[in-house]
Structure 1
Amino acid sequence: MIRFIRRLVRLVVPYRKDLSLAWSTIKGRKGGFVGSFVAIAAGSAVITACGILLMSGLSTGVTPERYSGTTVVLSAEQSYWLDESSEVRYSERVTLPADKVAAVAAVPGVQSAVGDIDVQVSVVTQDGHTVGGPDGFPVFGHGWSGAALGPFTVGTGKAPSAADEVVLDADLAARAHLSPGATVRLVVGSIASSYRVVGIAEPPAGGLARQSAVFLTDEQARKLSGRPDRVDAIGVSAASGVGAGELAKRITAAVPGLVAHTGAERGDVEFLDVGDARSLVVESSASFGGTMVLIVVFVVASTLALSVQQRRRELALLRAIGATPKQIHWMIGAEMTLVSLAGAVVGMIPGIVLAFGMREVFILADAMPPDFRMEIGWVPFLASLVLCMVSARLGGWMVARRVAKVSPVEALGDAAIEPKKLGWVRLAIGVLLIPLGLLLTLNNVAVSGDSAADTAASAVLLFVVSVGCIGPLLFRGAIAVFGKRLNRQSTAHGFLAQANARANSRRLSTAATPLAMGVTLAAVQVFGASTTIAASQEQMEAGLRADHVLTASSGAGVSPEVVDAVRGVPGVSVVTPVARMQVLLTFPSEDSTATKVYAAQGVTPDRLSDTMDLQTIDGDTAQLQGETVALSRVVAETVKAKIGKTVDLRLGDGTVVKPKVVATYERGLGFGDVTLPNDLVVAHTTARVDAAVLVKAADGTDKKAFDGALRSALDRYPTVKVGDQDAFQSAPGSGGSGDWALNLLFQTVLLGYIAIAVVNTLVMSTAARVREFAMLQLIGAKPDQIRSMMNGEARIVTFSALLFGLLATAPPLIGMSEGLTKSPVPSVSVLGLVVIVAITVALSWGSIAMATRFAMRPAPVDAIGGRE
């Protein structure tokens, strides 16, 4: 082990003499190393940003407010652990039995233990004005005993002692213009009740920044929660001399089924969105960071390959005068150590800026609360430094292999011209990956469900790697077939562009391969998303048949009582309440089990197709009663579920059920992949309410009269609003947009890095041709002719990158569309295609034009005598 570690360190840290030689070569060839430096610096920025996000997710969050006076906060397990390091957060709050409070209070070292209850409410003043929390945050109702967790103290008035009495926090009372003696309506779900304000509570020292609080009697709070025998959390104060960590261990050892939180983690219990954000940030930044490390290795290796190719004569001469393969290896490795060290350090500052920019996108996507704190420590910077240096060293080793193993005599011969043949290993890998990618794409013929779409989408990576391996052959073929059509042979510049491209296809492919990779990844992202969104929108528009959609203006949901009220409106034909949550479905997968998260809805089965047509394939949704479930075709095929069989589900609050499958349907993208009975879903949501209510009028009903009667029936529900079909998609729990936005964020960062690599490579390959341009000018070529020649080469590069990039995109998109919609034709956005082509053209043409002008700046007589 010690020998292995020593060799690993030597791989990254060369001897002093190697560094001295490397520094000399870098000083003599500054321009040749700029490309590698830029690639590493950009990679360092992205890796640093991911590291900062990861560290923030692991160690920070939001400071607790109402729980700021506690030592330990106890909750139920809010996650389902797939393994020791991977978890899935439940979408609803998991509560605790109320009798746990007494058990915790009996643990030695506990001074007090208080069970806390959260009930989201809307505050409506006498003039009908609804007052929310600060900056749009919600208002929560609690039992008065929970005031001790802040602690809150009564500044004016008294504590509540009757069911119709309430105490408001000072900021809420001021904004609502309420004082003791006033009357206020509190809306829980959709039900409004009048309360008399008896006191104003002063919050703890830090105040309330992301909530407002109202306090009721404990009994009334339990009644409004709908769970009188449950509590959301238990706040614990430690006895004198007992530390938080020690007390947490004592409690969890004495009382099973509890998760203890101390310090900043207490905020995760108080604010579920914070815990969800921490989990999402850690998972996504770790996954994307790992992907970026692989991309950095690839890009750096590609840049180094071009750099080494431009130094063929120099390296061949070193081999000819006696340099050993090992010395060549160590020289290139030492160069990469110095360049990567400088590049990694320079990229750290932009990495901080990028991390905060990504944080803003997380916030806009509702995946992170606005007050989520970022942690900037030394760990992300050290990790970025080490990863960039190891990546560069690995890339240097890969490109040095061929140069180092060639004999001295062959080296001088090879240096004169560009090598034509590819290594057999590289050729074999590139050729074999194409049928493997096609096999994955066609996998949905044998494997149905969302696994088919997943494997088809992952095939794009195989095609990208294949293009990278056999790029010279592909681009040589493209030049032979399309070169004459892209450049007129009757002109000198057209002939030269064609001849240059044909003679230097390896150099051309080195420049065009990253561009093709960017085209492929961008097209899969854009057209994959457009296919999914178009299918989802089409299914929802085709299946939603309600005339009106009822939702809550406060976002708190619609109470079940509203459904009964609407059913009594004259002219109503069908009323369908819709509750939403996320569920975990566990199913056999090969030799083990797999668990996936799916969007679920709860509906009533009575004439469901009149308001929501799921396009039933098999079974009958009218049987959705008790512990039953209907699954979309994609999910049913994924989990191999049959009508009459049971499936293993974990509901949004972690409750395990085994419902019987009674139907399968097609429109899962539009309405959710899992459909359950409405009462089952509502009973396991945090607020015990529906997300929306669908209303269908009877045939022949006068629309104007019906609308008036419906709105009149809803007058006593101040937070319920009547909307059209668009309101159904925006109802709470519809989800999807945030995930898509985050996916777009990471793809944008990835494509941005690839764009930098493309520009970098094109500039390097073009700027290295100073002597070639000088020679052409000395034998009579005009600068405009040389620029026209380079425009011809740019046409070849652009066309080839678009051709192979889009060809590599087609099979995965066809497989993805077939797996999700049973149609082999994906939805291709014309605007998206135009943007991809425009960006490709701009990157290619702009980079080559800029580098050409730079390379032609020296006088031809001076440039022809310069070094390579």
Structure 2
Amino acid sequence: MLTVAALRARWTGLLGPFVALCLGVALMSMTALVLVSAQPRVPDRYAGAEVLVLAPEVQGIPGTFPERRPWSPARTAELTERLTALDGVTAAVPDRSFYAQAVVGGRPIGEPALADPQGHGWSSAALAPYRLVAGSPPVRPDEVVLDRALGFAPGNRVTLLTATGPAEHTVAGTVDGPGFYLADPVAAPLARGVRLIGLVLADGADPATVRSAAEQVVAGNGTVHTGADRAAAEPPRHTRTRWIGMQVLTGMTTLAGFVSIFVVASTFAFGVAQRRREFGLLRTVGATPGQLRRLMYAEALAVGAVGAAVGAVLGSVCAPAFGALLVDAGFQPTGFQVRVELWPPAAAYLVGLVVALLGVWSASRRAGRVRPLEALREAVLDRRPMTRLRWAGAIGSTALGVLLTVLLVGAEPDDIVNYALYAAMALTAGLALFAPVLVPPLTYALTWPLDRLSGATGMLVRRNALTAVRRTASTSAPMLLTVGFAVLIAGFVATTAGAYASRDSAAIRAGSVLVPDGTPGLSDAAVAAVPGTALLPSTVYADPPPGTAPTSPPGTAPTSSVGTAPTVGVTLPAGVARQGGGAGVPVAVAGVEPAGFAQVNGRLRVLSGDFAAFRGPDSAVVTAGLAERLGWSAGGLAVLDLPDGTAGQVRVAAVVDDGSIPAELLLAREVVRAHDPSALTEAVFTPMAATGQDGGADHPALGARLVGVAEYAAERDAAEDRLVRLATLILIAVSAGYTAIALANTLLMATVHRARELLVLLRSGATVRQVLGTVAAESALVVAIGTALGLLVSTVALLAIQSALGEQFGVPVELVVPAPTIGLVVSGCLLLALAASVLPARLILRAGPGAGAGYRVE
């Protein structure tokens, strides 16, 4: 009965925990449903084949997703012949795929991914469930079958862009699915290495029996899959997309859980401070500390049960739409759909109850320590806002934050973000604990303008803030957390992106750069249109020299240097380095013209050997990290399996510093092109400027454009930067949303608790407008104090980040303070704070001056 009565009397103070738990459980329910549904699926293009034979899998380090290792041409032919001869198999079809893109109106259409080629040989159509809906299969070299959704009809002419360049084709037919299908003899020279062979079965054939027979044929040189196991053929980019999405969702859910606990804990702690007189009265009439603790737990459990139930239902209803948004944002692969099941929302509901109980734990202990004499307490004056324990915590946290900030300046690039976050967390905790000391001077500074506009209002706002210092500090703490976190994360992302662009721009010795325009890379025709130094990324497979023991265990992958090189910004596909015939390690390779590459690369640092010896198809340049792992050295031989599965060897001309070249291995461009017909060029570095070149054309070739070096450096990681920005916005939105709830709920509780005080002001002669103006000014002051402290924390951390990046890269780094983010977060919190304080104050004042001292809010 006491719990029910308390809930009825204090329901306004429990709105914050209710909303926080409701949203937290809804978020956890949606995330759980997405994660349960985010499983590999059979690619549509292979759904028509009941048995798939896949090339050997390559093991990668977490966060890398290399493609399978292709069979050699001889092994592909042998497997195809032997698999075709199996009982129940009508055809064994090697999947020969290549880059292809239609050109409409003089521009490439669609957004193909380099790792998901759309061009295929016609025989591959048997592996897909697509039907030929019009026309006939391609027979002549200039014929193509394509998706009817493109709007072409049999007999139409279409320009098809491949790695060699654009070519005119006649539409022989259309299918009801994506892709461009050429005659097999035409597709074979364009295709990359074969990694999949699909088996077309006769009517009535048993897939399990065929699978057993195929496994004997493959004999460990690949894997055989049927049924749902065919999802193993999913493109690595889809696996990577799902992995990125999982990281974002996990971070978002973890943040929501912790912030939910924070909101519940802060709300109940604030409620205990306001209800000390009530608890003192209960102690006076005989209530024990244990009974008060049980009262708090009962209130939290009641709020948690209702809020978690509403959140679980809300999350289940919104999960499909949430999944669609994740696909649009690039955090889930195309075709992903959410499956609604019972156990994820149920688990989220139980987690919500646990969060509610954890949040009230500290407050319940504080309530149990209330003494009966507290029943006589009337004033809210804080006589000792800083206790010894609080002083110790504030000094310790601030000192730790300063120390981490100093260490941040000399940190390695990979450690900068960790030091920055830890420093900001320590400084935030320190300033939050120091808030009772910082509130008075900030209050005087921020209320000074009010003295000029309205002396009485300014004085009243100032005295209220200084009288209840702890209340002011508690209500401003959510703003400190929100502004500090939002500005730090957004500023770090923007400052880091600008620093990398400045470093890369300074290291490129070129007048302009030819980059893809509407395509995933440059065709050979586009490269030939503008003279310069071309960069062709691909994959290779390498063995350590005989008798040399590799320095990394079999099956492990090296850390790629992609993203740290100064001259390119391509995310290179990973290859495999064989180690004594074992599993293998990923290696990235780039094909370049040696003399031109040395001229445009301003960061090249040779550790051993002679870069000038890198010339022709029989030499290579490797990074120090790769050489150490594989036991290579300058002047030695490196055995390679090339992208099409053929073998060869090159002499190591030079070993260079990690990060000074765009990959771990450099080969002559003609070698990469000869063995990877579908590879596309990442960029061409030209001696001419982007403006003032011959003709001044923005599009010197189909699917290409010339840009300045600075623009190229800024755009080089555009896709990755977009995902980082979206992830940042999601985390900021979750943090700011919960903080806004905490801020609004705290102000609502404080306003309702001050009902008698507001009515006294009204009875003393103040008008309703003056009282509401005072309430609004106090809320704005709380927001301003929190904003000032948050900006102090984030600015200190960002300045240290700027200094660290400048020291590491050796170039001036511009500090980017995200003004739009600050304005959006502060304005949103201010509007919510005003609504949470002014509206309930207006309802209280409607009772009029005669409401008296016994005014009570139900």
TM-score range relative to shorter protein: 0.7 to 0.9
Displacement after TM superposition at 1:242 (Å):
5.2
Give the structure 2 partner of residue 171 of structure 1.
Answer: 148
The partner residue of 1:820 within 805, 811, 817 is 805
Displacement after TM superposition at 1:865 (Å):
1.2
The partner residue of 1:396 within 356, 360, 364 is 360
8 Å Cα contact 1:122-1:139 kept in structure 2: no
Give the structure 2 partner of residue 4 of structure 1.
Answer: none
The residue type equivalent to 1:188 in the other structure is T
The partner residue of 1:743 within 718, 728, 731 is 728
Give the structure 2 partner of residue 222 of structure 1.
Answer: 188
The partner residue of 1:606 within 591, 595, 601 is 595
* Cα pair distance change 1:169/1:507, threshold 3 Å: same
The residue type equivalent to 2:179 in the other structure is S
- 1:325-367 deviation per Cα after TM superposition (whole angstroms, max 9, x unaligned): 2222222112111101211222345546765665565445444
Give the structure 2 partner of residue 662 of structure 1.
Answer: 656
Instruction: Give the fraction of aligned pairs with identical amino acids, expressed as a percent.
Output: 24
Give the structure 2 partner of residue 88 of structure 1.
Answer: 63
The partner residue of 2:18 within 37, 43, 46 is 37
Aligned pair 1:150/2:128, yes or no? yes
The residue type equivalent to 2:679 in the other structure is R
Aligned pair 1:314/2:290, yes or no? no
For 1:61-72, what aligned pairs fall within 5 Å after superposition?
Answer: 64-72=43-51
The residue type equivalent to 1:223 in the other structure is P
Q: Secondary structure at the match of 2:762?
A: helix
Displacement after TM superposition at 1:674 (Å):
7.5
Q: Secondary structure at the match of 2:687?
A: strand
* Cα pair distance change 1:346/1:722, threshold 3 Å: same
Q: Secondary structure at the match of 1:488?
A: helix
User: Bigger shift: 734-743 or 484-493?
Assistant: 484-493
Aligned pair 1:288/2:255, yes or no? no
Give the structure 2 partner of residue 575 of structure 1.
Answer: 533
8 Å Cα contact 2:24-2:311 kept in structure 1: yes
* Distance in 1, Cα, partners of 2:377 & 2:662: 61
For 1:630-645, what aligned pairs fall within 5 Å after superposition?
Answer: none
The partner residue of 2:766 within 774, 781, 784 is 781
* Distance in 1, Cα, partners of 2:111 & 2:780: 58
The residue type equivalent to 1:522 in the other structure is A
TM-score, normalisation: structure 1 = 0.77
For 1:578-589, what aligned pairs fall within 5 Å after superposition?
Answer: 579=537
Give the structure 1 partner of residue 585 of structure 2.
Answer: none
* Distance in 1, Cα, partners of 2:464 & 2:698: 79
For 1:203-352, what aligned pairs fall within 5 Å after superposition?
Answer: 203=175, 207-208=176-177, 211-217=178-184, 219-227=185-193, 230-232=194-196, 234=198, 251=215, 255-256=219-220, 258=222, 266=230, 269=233, 271-348=235-312, 350-351=314-315
Q: Secondary structure at the match of 1:687?
A: coil
8 Å Cα contact 1:598-1:672 kept in structure 2: yes
8 Å Cα contact 1:245-1:262 kept in structure 2: no
* Distance in 1, Cα, partners of 2:304 & 2:723: 36
User: Bigger shift: 612-621 or 422-431?
Assistant: 612-621
The residue type equivalent to 1:53 in the other structure is V
Give the structure 2 partner of residue 488 of structure 1.
Answer: 451
Displacement after TM superposition at 1:651 (Å):
13
- 1:603-644 deviation per Cα after TM superposition (whole angstroms, max 9, x unaligned): 54424476564597999987877553569xxx99xx9xxx99
* Distance in 2, Cα, partners of 1:786 & 1:659: 81
The partner residue of 2:35 within 30, 54, 58 is 54
Q: Secondary structure at the match of 2:46?
A: coil
The residue type equivalent to 2:33 in the other structure is I
* Distance in 2, Cα, partners of 1:216 & 1:326: 82
Give the structure 2 partner of residue 115 of structure 1.
Answer: 94
User: Bigger shift: 457-466 or 508-517?
Assistant: 457-466
Q: Secondary structure at the match of 2:247?
A: helix
The residue type equivalent to 1:372 in the other structure is F
The residue type equivalent to 1:575 in the other structure is T
Give the structure 2 partner of residue 188 of structure 1.
Answer: 162
* Distance in 1, Cα, partners of 2:725 & 2:19: 30
Displacement after TM superposition at 1:518 (Å):
0.7
Q: Secondary structure at the match of 2:181?
A: strand
* Cα pair distance change 1:451/1:115, threshold 3 Å: same
8 Å Cα contact 1:317-1:412 kept in structure 2: yes
8 Å Cα contact 1:57-1:278 kept in structure 2: yes
User: Bigger shift: 281-290 or 130-139?
Assistant: 130-139
* Distance in 1, Cα, partners of 2:36 & 2:338: 8
For 1:707-856, what aligned pairs fall within 5 Å after superposition?
Answer: 718-720=702-704, 726=711, 735-822=720-807, 826-839=815-828, 841-856=830-845
Give the structure 2 partner of residue 861 of structure 1.
Answer: 850
* Cα pair distance change 1:28/1:412, threshold 3 Å: closer
* Cα pair distance change 1:508/1:128, threshold 3 Å: closer
- 1:14-34 deviation per Cα after TM superposition (whole angstroms, max 9, x unaligned): xxxxxx643342123322322
* Distance in 1, Cα, partners of 2:852 & 2:124: 81
Give the structure 2 partner of residue 692 of structure 1.
Answer: 683
* Distance in 1, Cα, partners of 2:225 & 2:473: 55
* Distance in 1, Cα, partners of 2:604 & 2:322: 40
Displacement after TM superposition at 1:51 (Å):
2.5
Displacement after TM superposition at 1:512 (Å):
0.9
- 1:485-533 deviation per Cα after TM superposition (whole angstroms, max 9, x unaligned): 4653994433332222122122222211011111101111222222123
Displacement after TM superposition at 1:154 (Å):
5.9
* Cα pair distance change 1:676/1:254, threshold 3 Å: closer
* Distance in 2, Cα, partners of 1:345 & 1:93: 45
8 Å Cα contact 1:577-1:690 kept in structure 2: yes
* Distance in 2, Cα, partners of 1:746 & 1:780: 47
The residue type equivalent to 2:684 in the other structure is V
User: Bigger shift: 834-843 or 250-259?
Assistant: 250-259
TM-score, normalisation: structure 2 = 0.77
Query: What runs of 5+ residues in structure 1 fail to find an aligned partner?
Result: 1-19
* Distance in 2, Cα, partners of 1:659 & 1:300: 64
Q: CA RMSD in A?
A: 5.0
Q: Secondary structure at the match of 1:577?
A: strand
Q: Secondary structure at the match of 2:656?
A: strand
* Cα pair distance change 1:137/1:445, threshold 3 Å: closer
* Distance in 1, Cα, partners of 2:344 & 2:852: 44
